[in-house]
Amino acid sequence: MTRDSAHLSAEDMGGAPSAATPPLTPRIIELCEAAKRLERKPLNISDFPRLLSIYRRTIRRVPVLHRLCLYGWRFLHRHVRYAAPKYWHKFRQLIFRLLPQPLFTSTAKLTRHNEYLAEYPSLCCETALPETVVYLPPLRVIGLQGKIPHRLTKEESFLFPAVKIFETHDAVQQGATNLVFLPKQVALLQGKALYHDLYRFETDRTSEELHSRVLLNIGRGTIRRRINTVPPASIPVAASFVDSCAGNYAHWMSEVLPRIHLFCREPRFSGVPIIVNGGLHENLMNSLFLVCGDRLIYTLPTFGTVWADRLYVTTPTGYVPFDQRGGEGEQHSHGKFSPDALRLLRDHLMKQAFNLAQRDWPERIYLRRSRGIRRVVNNDTLERIAREAGYAILDPEKLSFHEQVQYFTHARHVISATGAACANAIFMPQGSRLTVLMGEHPKMIYRYWQSMVQPLGVAVDMLCGPIVDQMNLGIHGSISIDPDLFGREVMTS
């Protein structure tokens, strides 16, 4: 799913700050603090208020113009640079005079984790989880006006690879990316950029590309990273859990925190610090504290860089592409997750003492999403129907992390528009049900939530409606749900 930090709501970042105090407060050290002032991309239009206003009012609202601007810049970089290097050099120097720009490193070879471990098998420290076969039943979809995609009508299965922990030496970790760079040690050799085995660059567009943090050449299998102007930090040893989408609650809970938990539960790594994104929401940090205890935590801002003499890497426990590179949703990954990793994380968090007063937790919940992207435009009507059917109406933006866990732990049926709060379904008991309100779109990844929580024993179905607002946002546009279909859904639960 496309995850642009500019569009993240409070719900996407994890809800309200937590009132409860975590049992242990680890030490936190901020790396590259000066990089916080450089939260900007190359050719950042926000440096020009008048151009920014035009961009927001016209170009960004018209998908064709927006796409032309992106293709124009790519054409300049990919073709003019090589066809007319003299003019490209003058153009680049002009831009660099207008805005102080970082340069890019020499090319590095894109290398999968498994390729790296095959070359250096001795660096594999631990197999945290074995490979797992995941089965998904046909997805129940209601309300689609068009033909139901074929892949939703049949059972799916996939092999989730083993989760391994390995070490690298003399590694470079930049902010807001899970790529690990190994600079060349000998002049004639090429450096490496390590990426996990679930990436498919031919079909997956990365956040790093969108925000101009890397230059990717898929055909040649090479990448160049941006050199940040802030001097890099240097540490002797750490484990990296930096990710381009860590600030989103759903991706934190399914892709980042499970890896941290698997690493921290291994006794041999008890003294190893970890590196996470800087600026994470308080709720995300509180969930981190419950997992890592009093371990030392380094936080790395987006434009920070850290050099580590020894850096541990944990292979993925889940992944969904940031964006799609061509094609339609049926041809792309709808997300793959390790049920064992999510189950271990869920069991660990549910054992924690949350210091919340005992109360009658509702069994049927409707989650409100009436603001931001992917909102339900007729939310008031649906709320009224749900309330009359005995559902508790909750606003996840106002809930602490501990409250969200408790509400979902006791819920038997949850109805929610697709959004980060649905990730809390990993805490729902076996035999419960999650109904997700989704828009109808050719690129919609309908199996995303099913892939995450159905293997944990939570049934998932979709209630779909047309995208009627924010249509330029594609699958993230706002939707309208048929009240009659919704009423039958809540009455039969």
Q: What does the alpha-carbon distance between residue 487 and residue 39 come to, in Å, rounded to a whole number?
A: 46
Q: CA-CA distances (angstroms) from residue 337 to 57, 161, 174, 348?
A: 39, 10, 25, 18
Q: What does the alpha-carbon distance between residue 41 and residue 64 come to, in Å, rounded to a whole number?
A: 23
Q: What is the pLDDT of residue 111?
A: 96
Fold classification of 334-491 is: Rossmann fold (3.40.50)
Of 399, 433, 440, nearest in space to 416 by CA: 433
Q: Determine which helix (DSSP H) or strand (DSSP E) holds 90, and give its type and residue range.
A: helix 85-98
- By DSSP bridging, strand 124-129 and strand 336-337 are unpaired
pLDDT at 376 over 50: yes
Least confident of 129-143, 169-183, 321-335: 321-335
pLDDT at 418 over 90: yes
* Helix, strand or coil, per DSSP, at residue 5: helix
Q: What does the alpha-carbon distance between residue 190 and residue 220 come to, in Å, rounded to a whole number?
A: 13
- Kindly report the CA angle at 105 between 35 and 88, in degrees rounded to 5? 105
Q: How confident is the model at residue 208 (pLDDT cuts 50, 70, 90)?
A: confident
Q: What is the pLDDT of residue 363?
A: 95
CA 7 centroid distance within chain = 13
Please provide the average confidence, as pLDDT, over all residues in the chain: 84
Task: Let me know: does 249 contact 11? Beta carbons within 8 Å.
Answer: yes
> 37: which residues sit within 8 A by CB, 6+ positions away?
none
Over residues 329-336, the mean pLDDT reads 81
Task: Let me know: does 322 contact 205? Beta carbons within 8 Å.
Answer: yes
* Helix, strand or coil, per DSSP, at residue 135: strand
Least confident of 12-16, 124-128, 169-173: 12-16
- By DSSP bridging, strand 204-205 and strand 323-324 are antiparallel
> 26: which residues sit within 8 A by CB, 6+ positions away?
289, 292, 293, 294, 295, 296, 297
Of all residues in the chain, the percent with pLDDT exceeding 90 is 57
Q: What does the alpha-carbon distance between residue 260 and residue 44 come to, in Å, rounded to a whole number?
A: 33
Domain boundaries, the chain: 28-33+105-138+149-319, 43-98, 334-491
Backbone CA torsion sign across 345, 348, 351, 357: negative
b/e per residue 91-111 (b: at least 16 CB within 10 A): ebeeeeeeeebbebbebbbbb
**CA within 13 Å, CB half, 253:** 29
Task: Return the residue matching tokens 């680890």.
Answer: 26
Query: What pTM did the predictor assign?
Result: 0.84
In the chain, DSSP finds a helix count (H) and a strand count (E) of 14, 26
Q: CA-CA distances (angstroms) from residue 255 to 34, 315, 388?
A: 28, 10, 37
